[in-house]
Amino acid sequence: MRELLNSKRVRRNNAWYYLILLLPLIWYIFVFVVPMVQGIGLSLFRWDGLSPDKEFVGLENYKTLALNTPKFWPAFFNSIKYVLFVVIGCVIISIFLSILIYQKSRLNNFFRAMFYLPCVLSTTAVAFMWNNAIYNPNIGILNRSLEALGLDFLTHVWLGEPGLIIFSIGAIEIYMNLGTSILLFIAGLQDIPIELHESARIDGANRIQVFFKITMPLLSPTTSLVTVLTMISAMRSFDIMYVLSNKTTQVLATFLYDEMFTFRRVGTGSAAAVVLFLLVLVMNGIQKLIIKEDV
């Protein structure tokens, strides 16, 4: 009898929880899934985005992108370059900084707040600041500092040299993502039992060995999470790119914006968006293979 009552109670509770989960699921479907499916659908049409007429062209837009759009492939490979630079840079710098901040110090909270500040700033404001105060070739802090240190040969037109623009803007993306990444790594470090470090030291391991043999493997779930989040953020990066890059250096996000809204080719723009989505999936899959989470 008691088992019967417990079973009914469990079923009643489960039904209640499923009902509660249904609401965010419905929201997710309408806000994310439906537009995504619509976008895939639009990639099969030729449409200018405003007129009521759409022409079904099947996979023609994809063929056009691959074979007849000279700007597509440079944007595609620029996106990969940009993501790799941002992800690797962000992960390495944030691990380093989080370990520094994790040490016991009165200034810990201050540094956490300072590093998190860029995350709450408007992207356009950050882009403006970097463009005018840091990267400006004539009065920017970066070139002036290099000159003051006698490193004139290192000064560049950071947003003007075609080979450099991607990395200059990538540095800003890293700057904006550091705060979140550092907080996640600090949380990951807090989950590592202190006893493991102590016992490793007792066994004769030095700090570097402890870091690479114990800390880093145990941080791999967090590293994986930070990698994914940074990768998605970098792939979707539009604001900074649009504001700062000259029009000859594009990534997929700015390319598809031009296709859809400047040149009114919603079909090819949507096809580029689908390619971007697939690229994120592929890179996420590769990341899962490289970073083993089950330690």
Partner 1 sequence: MKKRIISSLITAVLLMGLVGCGGNSDSANSTGNNDAAQDSGEEVTLNFLTWRGDDSAAYDQVVANFNEENPNIKVNFEYVVDAYEQVLTTRLLSNDVDLFALDGHLDMYVDGGNLLELTGQSFLDNYQEGALEPCTFDGKVYGACQMFCMVNTFYNVDMLEEMGYTGEPKTWDEFIEICDKFMEKGIHPIACGNAANLSTQLGYQLLVSMIPDHSSDLFNEIVAGEAKMTDEPMATVSKLVKQVSDADYYCEGSTGLDKFGACEVFMRGEAPFLVEGSWRAITLAEDETLNWDVFSISAPGGAEDVYLFRPAQIHVINANTPHKDEALKYYEFMSRPESMEIFSSTTVQVPVGNDVTVDHPALNKVVDYMNSHKAGGDPQVKLENAEIGSLMNEYFGSITLGTPIEDAVATIEQGFENMKAQQ
Residues that bind partner 1 (CB under 8 A): 13, 16-17, 20, 23-24, 27, 31, 48-52, 64, 68-70, 124, 131-132, 135-138, 157-162, 238-239, 242-243, 246-248, 257-258, 260-265, 268
Considering the complex, what minimum distance in angstroms separates the CB of residue 140 from partner 1? 9
In this complex, which beta carbon is closest to partner 1, that of residue 26 or of residue 113? 26
Considering the complex, what minimum distance in angstroms separates the CB of residue 287 from partner 1? 30
Considering the complex, what minimum distance in angstroms separates the CB of residue 168 from partner 1? 9
Considering the complex, what minimum distance in angstroms separates the CB of residue 112 from partner 1? 28
In this complex, which beta carbon is closest to partner 1, that of residue 157 or of residue 205? 157
In this complex, which beta carbon is closest to partner 1, that of residue 30 or of residue 96? 30
Considering the complex, what minimum distance in angstroms separates the CB of residue 177 from partner 1? 20
In this complex, which beta carbon is closest to partner 1, that of residue 222 or of residue 245? 245
Q: What are phi and psi of 45, to 5 degrees?
A: -120, 160
Considering the complex, what minimum distance in angstroms separates the CB of residue 268 from partner 1? 7
CA 222 to chain centre: 15
In this complex, which beta carbon is closest to partner 1, that of residue 78 or of residue 98? 78
Taking CA atoms, 295 is separated from 8, 188, 189, 242, in Å, by 39, 14, 15, 41
In this complex, which beta carbon is closest to partner 1, that of residue 16 or of residue 110? 16
Considering the complex, what minimum distance in angstroms separates the CB of residue 240 from partner 1? 11
Considering the complex, what minimum distance in angstroms separates the CB of residue 143 from partner 1? 8
In this complex, which beta carbon is closest to partner 1, that of residue 16 or of residue 77? 16
Structure-block tokens of residue 56: 């079904």
In this complex, which beta carbon is closest to partner 1, that of residue 64 or of residue 108? 64
Rounded to 10 deg, the angle between the 72-102 and 220-235 helix axes is 140
Please check whether residue 243 is in contact with residue 127, taking contact to mean a CB–CB distance below 8 angstroms.
yes
